[in-house]
Amino acid sequence: MSMSEVKVNPGDSFEQALKRFNRKVQQDGVLSEARRRTHYESPQARRKRKAAAQRRKQRRTRQPG
């Protein structure tokens, strides 16, 4: 996992920089990764979770509209 970095331009307000940083962290998946690593997940549970996510994704793409 790498550090998310945002360059603050001279004319930027703190709110703009914070919003850009939050967007970058969201795109990099830093928070979701940290939440996932909070507790140990056995390999069996990991496979089960990924299979369920795959089934949800297939169900979503199969339905029209």
Provide the whole-model pTM.
0.58
Does 1 or 61 have the greater pLDDT score? 61
Asked whether residue 55 is assigned to any structural domain, the reply reads: yes
DSSP string covering the chain, please?
------PPPTT--HHHHHHHHHHHHHHHTHHHHHHHTSS---HHHHHHHHHHHHHHHHHHHHS--
* pLDDT band, very low/low/confident/very high, at 63 (cuts 50, 70, 90): confident
Provide CB contacts within 8 A for 24, sequence distance 6+.
4, 5, 6
Asked whether residue 56 is assigned to any structural domain, the reply reads: yes
Asked whether residue 6 is assigned to any structural domain, the reply reads: no
User: How many distinct structural domains can be found in the chain?
Assistant: 1
> Taking 80 as the threshold, does the pLDDT of residue 14 lie above it?
yes
Structure confidence by residue, pLDDT tens digits, 26-58: 999 999 899 989 999 999 999 999 999 999 999
Asked whether residue 7 is assigned to any structural domain, the reply reads: no
Dist. CA 55–CA 49, nearest whole Å: 10
For residue 49, what are the domain limits? 14-62
Asked whether residue 9 is assigned to any structural domain, the reply reads: no
Structure tokens at 23: 């967007």
> Taking 80 as the threshold, does the pLDDT of residue 10 lie above it?
yes
Asked whether residue 20 is assigned to any structural domain, the reply reads: yes
